[in-house]
Structure formats: C-alpha cells, structure tokens
Amino acid sequence: MRYIFLIFISYLYLQADAHIFVYHRFGDYKHNATNTSVKELTKEFEYFKTHNYQVVPIEQILKRIEQKQSIPDNWIALTIDDSYKSFYHNGLPLFKKYGYPFNLNIYVEATQRHYGDFMSWDQIKEASKYGTIGLHSYSHPHLTKISLEEVKQDTQKAYDIFVKNMGYKPEIYVYPYGEYNQKIKNIIKKFGFKTILNQNIGTVTKQSDIFDINRIALVGKVNIKTKLRYKTFDALWIKPKSFPENGVLKEIKVKVDPKYKKLKLYITKEGWRDIQVKNGMVDIKLNLYLKNSRTRLMLGPDVYTISNKLITKQ
C-alpha cells in the first residue's frame, strides 16, 4: 500500500504546477485599479502560510524549468512591477515580516527622473537585500505600438542605466502592460536575460518556455483559493501564430491529447464556448473580427486548466 501511495504522489509531482503572482501598488487608494491593500496582502500571506504553500525565490522555479525538473505544486513566487513607492513603504515591511522573497521589476525612467510616485535607486538597492531586481523597460511603452528598432533602443537604454546604478546585469525582463509578440520576444531575448515574464493567466511547469513565463495578477480583493486552482493544459498552438493583418480571425488550430473529445475555448470579448476535438486536433473555422488589438485565446477542459495564446496587433 505504501508503494502504491508513493507512485501516486510521484505522479502528482510530475504533473505539478507552480504559481507566480504579480502585484503593483500596496495600500495606495488613489489608484485602486492596481492596488492591493495591506489588509488584503496580509490575508493572502496568511493563506499561503496556513495552507502549506512555500513562497520561494523566482530563480528557484526558473532553475527547475531550465533543468526540465518537476516543480512542486505548493511552490509560489511573488513579483512586483513598476517599483512604486507604495511597495517600499507599505508592501516591503510585510514581505520582511513573513520572510517572503520577491522579484521587483523596475520602470527605469520613472526612477531615473525621480517621478514622485516611484522608488529611488537607494530604495531599490535597500529592497534588493530581500529580493531580486529585474527590468521593466525604460519608458514603459506599449511595445507593440512602437517600431522594433525603438523596442531595441528602449531596452538598451534601460539595461545600461540599470547596470550603472545596480552594478550588475539584470537577468529578468518583464513586458510593459504584458504586451508582446514573437518579433518583440526575439529582440528582448538577444539581451541575454535568463527569463522573460508575461502577465498571462496560467501556471508554470517543467515544460514552460523560460522566455514566456505566466504570471497571475493579484489586484484588489481576490479569492486566493480560486487563483490557486489554475493549472496548465498541455497544448500545441498551430494557428493563429500572430494577430491577423486584417483583424479577422479565420482559424484556430491546436494539437491536444487525443483523449479529449470536448474542450472549452475563450476569446477576448467573445467569452467561453464549448468545442469539439477530433483525433487530438482542435480545428475551428471562423470569420471573427477581433474587437481588441490585444486578444487572448484560452483552451482547456475547464476554465481553470488552460493553455494561453496572446495575439497582439503590431
């Protein structure tokens, strides 16, 4: 019986998903759209603590992915984007109290030009004693709305200023607004980052693309138990590869495990729909005008076990 139990546990371990969450502001009620109250943050941290979740440095998860090793289901990594002062004053003390590591990603221009709402380089260096620091662009542009040369220039400027002030090369890059496409991804990769983080709903497994790591946003009051229900659905997206030139989505084609006969598909502004699977292939003909220049496609057996595809108009 003990042997069977160990086999069962090993199977779960092999299928395990880690969760990476992203925060922005803390205790800043002037900007509720991106704010997490200290009370809410405490509630989430207490949930992690009392339900046996282990908050680990994001590098620990990334190392598992690089080595194609399974990641424990109870691992969580916490990231913070933009480096608002509210993190330094309201969020950091709680991270220190619980001993939770974090990854803080810097909006470089805001710090370099001393924008009032953002951390200084001295504050960032102080925070780096308790977490790791990554790069979140120079001017925080919509990367898909500028030229590829401008993407390169923005990244280079951010990179150089970061190195000058921090004394080391950044290893993590985060897309502003979570917007990107394959051409942008290829440019960012050339800077030698160890990983690139997106802001797509979903989890990470040993099969995750190290240069396209999912993070789930935690803003306002959230049901953290529900957020932790998300799992990765194994799927190979064949079509679409990118945002259609005329804005009309003609086909969705995805290879999945042949055991599935029915799945659920989500399209931004269209919601969820039930679809048929034939011989391990989803092949849907459409003539759908995409209402958003940033359109998310999600596929899975249920709304929590999903594979993500983000297509963004360039």
The enclosing domain of 55 has a CATH number of: 3.20.20.370
Say how far residue 125 (Cα) sits from the centre of its chain.
24
Q: Are 175 and 99 part of one and the same domain?
A: yes
Same domain membership, residue 287 and residue 221: no
The domain spanning residue 260 has which CATH number?
A: 2.60.40
Confidence of residue 313 (pLDDT cuts 50, 70, 90): confident
**pLDDT score, position 101:** 98
Closest CA to 131 of 78, 74, 204, 75: 78
Judged against a pLDDT cut of 80, whether residue 262 lies above it is answered with yes
* Mean pLDDT computed over 174-193: 95
The pLDDT of residue 260: 97
Mean pLDDT confidence for 189-214: 95
Q: Helix 182-189 and helix 148-166: axis angle, to 10°?
A: 30
CA distance 25 to 193: 25
Of 230, 254, 275, the residue at which a domain comes to its end is 230
Domain final residue pick, 230, 246, 275: 230
Do residues 142 and 197 share a domain?
yes
> Per-residue pLDDT averaged across 34-39, rounded?
96
Asked if 255 and 206 sit in the same domain, the reply is: no
In the chain, % of residues over pLDDT 70: 95
Backbone angles phi, psi at 293, to 5 degrees: -70, -20
Quote the mean pLDDT of the chain: 93
More confident residue, 100 or 10: 100
Does pLDDT of 8 surpass 70? no
Same structural domain, 98 and 141 = yes
pLDDT confidence of residue 48? 98
pLDDT 10s digits, 121-152: 999 999 999 999 999 999 999 999 999 999 99
The reported pLDDT for the residue numbered 55 is: 98
Task: For residue 70, give every residue at least 6 positions away whose Cβ sits within 8 Å of its Cβ, in sequence order, or none.
Answer: 13, 14, 16, 64, 205, 206
Q: What is the CA radius of gyration of the chain?
A: 20
Measured at the CA of 19, the angle between CA 16 and CA 21, to 5 degrees, comes to: 175
The span from the CA of 160 to the CA of 138, in Å, is 10
Position 271 scores a pLDDT of 96
Question: H or E element: which one contains 239?
Answer: strand 236-239
Q: 222 and 291 share a domain? A: no
- Tell me which residue range forms the domain holding 249: 236-312
Considering only CA atoms, which of 34, 62, 15 is closest in space to residue 211? 62
At residue 7, the pLDDT reads: 37
Band (2; pLDDT cuts 50, 70, 90): very low
Residue 18 · residue 71 · CB < 8 Å = yes
19: phi then psi, degrees, rounded to nearest 5: -115, 130
Rounded to whole angstroms, the Cα distance separating 194 from 57 reads 14
- CA-nearest of 158, 89, 161 to 118 is 89
- 191 and 295, same domain (yes or no): no
DSSP state letter for 203: -
| 143's tokens | 């990367």
- The sign of the CA dihedral 290, 208, 172, 90 is positive
Mean pLDDT of 2-20: 54
Question: Which of 230, 260, 285 corresponds to the end of one domain?
Answer: 230
In tens, the pLDDT along 265-290 reads 999 999 999 999 999 999 999 999 99
Q: Provide the pLDDT for residue 65.
A: 96
Distance CA 218, CA 227 (A): 9
**162 and 177 part of one domain:** yes
Sign of CA dihedral 247, 151, 115, 37: positive
Residue 5 has pLDDT above 80, yes or no: no
Q: Is residue 207 pLDDT above 80, yes or no?
A: yes
CA angle 40, 29, 294 (to 5 degrees): 85
Average the pLDDT over 254-273 and give the result: 97
Q: What is the pTM of this model?
A: 0.92
Q: What is the rounded average pLDDT of the residues 67-92? A: 97
Provide the pLDDT confidence category of residue 251 given band limits of 50, 70 and 90.
very high
The tokens describing 91, both together, are 């969020």
Say yes or no to pLDDT of 258 above 80: yes
Taking the C-alpha atoms of residue 146 and residue 152, their distance in angstroms, rounded to an integer, is 10
Clarify whether residues 199 and 246 are in a common domain: no
pLDDT over 60 at 14, yes or no: no
Q: What is the count of structural domains for the chain?
A: 2
Q: Tell me, yes or no, whether 17 and 137 share the same domain.
A: yes
For the cut 50, the answer to whether the pLDDT of residue 114 exceeds it is yes
CA nearest to 118, candidates 156, 80, 66, 154: 80
pLDDT for position 314:
76
Residue 162 has pLDDT above 60, yes or no: yes
Same-domain check for residues 151 and 278:
no
289 and 254 housed in the same domain: yes
